[in-house]
Structure 1
Amino acid sequence: MRTHNPVELVPYDSQWPQAFRHIRDKLLALLPQVLSIDHIGSTSIPGMIAKPLIDIDIVLPGLEHIEDATRMLLAEGYEPRGNRYDDEVWAFLSRGSVPAERVYLCPAGNGTHRNRLAFRDYLIAHPQTAADYVALKRRLAAEFRMDGDRYTAHKRDFVDAVVARALAGDG
């Protein structure tokens, strides 16, 4: 069943990096086995409009750590959102926090995680590409205001092209 939640984009909030650090510290205390906890998504890019949601990748040493980490997140009230991207990435949502948190468990060496960091870092380093992404997001949010799945799907080509440039070392 397709959810019909409005696509809500808000201006960049200078408190997002601080919110991430607070969440990271909490997650490190819960999950001492993590290799890294990375702020990803639009809230990690200074000046970027975004859904008011902190996206975080939690990198674990391997798949064998996913089950224990899942138990910890569930005990903390995170809602399981399933396996995403067919790439050994498990999503969880914490609606109760402000801003909301969406965390992803990823094993070390995960391609989705690598691509997310490449996208984030490329947009931070290339303001014109970031501005193009803002324009795309605004257009898609207007077009698919009540369909977050299609909003996300229609960003895919842009994101894939930026990731390809970033991984190729272009720019």
Structure 2
Amino acid sequence: MRKVEVVPYKKEWPKLFHDECQKLQDIFGPEMMNSYHIGSTSIPAIHAKPIIDILAVVKDVECVADFNKEMEGIGYDAMGENGMAGRRFFRKGGDERTHHIHMFQEGHEEISRHLAFRDYLLSHPDEAQKYSRLKQCLAAEFPMDIKGYVNGKNDFIKKVDEKAKHWAANEGDHHVDEVD
């Protein structure tokens, strides 16, 4: 059973992201096109579960399984699609989770959705703070129920996804934290 822990932003999270991206680049080489820091740890000044979420863009998602042994060698569990068509998901740390890798093939619609959500919150600090407060309340309400915590965020995330989609269409692409 995983405890739901939400903590204040930590200044070392960007470094943990960059360090892990270097490991992924070493494993995947030219198959990996880009990687992005996503999720709440990518947004300074908000509370987050202390798990670094990385969105990695690959040339061919069908080839990702060829690297599962190497990923296991650096501590990841390969989870396949894990409920999302076209994704390859890896988690590191077991019940003391430290990293999630969300791999998608170039052009998958989830890439722009994740980046728009992150970029919208980075550009709208009031919305980011609402999200932070919601996460803190849900962690207090569901300390041993990750499903309850996740379900409690769904409506907020859907609303922000819609706002972010519209905002991204009008603002253009402003993605940060790319690692080539």
TM-score (norm 1): 0.88
Specify the alignment match of 2:174 in structure 1: none
Per-residue Cα deviation, 1:70-127 (whole angstroms, up to 9, x for no partner)? 343123331123423433112211218x981111221112222221111110000000
- Aligned pair count reads 167
Aligned 1:82-97 pairs, distance under 5 A = 82-95=80-93
Greater Cα offset, 55-64 or 115-124: 55-64
Q: 1:10 aligns with which of 7, 10, 15?
A: 7
Aligned 1:12-31 pairs, distance under 5 A = 12-31=9-28
Specify the alignment match of 1:151 in structure 2: 149
Give the secondary structure class of the aligned counterpart of 1:154: helix
Q: Which amino acid aligns with 1:51?
A: K
Structure 1 gaps, min length 5? none
Distance in 2 (alpha carbons) for counterparts of 1:108 and 1:157? 28
Runs in 1 of length 4+ with deviation above 6 angstroms? none
Give the secondary structure class of the aligned counterpart of 1:84: coil
Query: Would the aligned equivalents of 1:144 and 1:151 in 2 still touch at CA under 8 Å?
Result: yes
Shift of residue 62, structure 1, vs aligned partner: 2.2
Distance in 2 (alpha carbons) for counterparts of 1:85 and 1:123? 25
Give the secondary structure class of the aligned counterpart of 1:114: helix
Per-residue Cα deviation, 1:25-61 (whole angstroms, up to 9, x for no partner)? 1111111110111111110001111111111111111
Aligned 1:74-153 pairs, distance under 5 A = 74-95=72-93, 100-153=98-151
Greater Cα offset, 44-53 or 104-113: 104-113
Query: Would the aligned equivalents of 1:87 and 1:110 in 2 still touch at CA under 8 Å?
Result: no
Distance in 2 (alpha carbons) for counterparts of 1:140 and 1:157? 13
Specify the alignment match of 2:176 in structure 1: none
Give the secondary structure class of the aligned counterpart of 2:104: strand
CA RMSD of aligned residues (A): 2.0
Structure 2 gaps, min length 5? 172-180
Within the alignment, does 1:165 sit opposite 2:163 as a pair? yes
Give the secondary structure class of the aligned counterpart of 1:39: strand
Specify the alignment match of 1:57 in structure 2: 55
Higher helix share: 2
Per-residue Cα deviation, 1:101-155 (whole angstroms, up to 9, x for no partner)? 1112211122222211111100000000001101111111111111112211221
Percent identical across equivalent pairs? 35
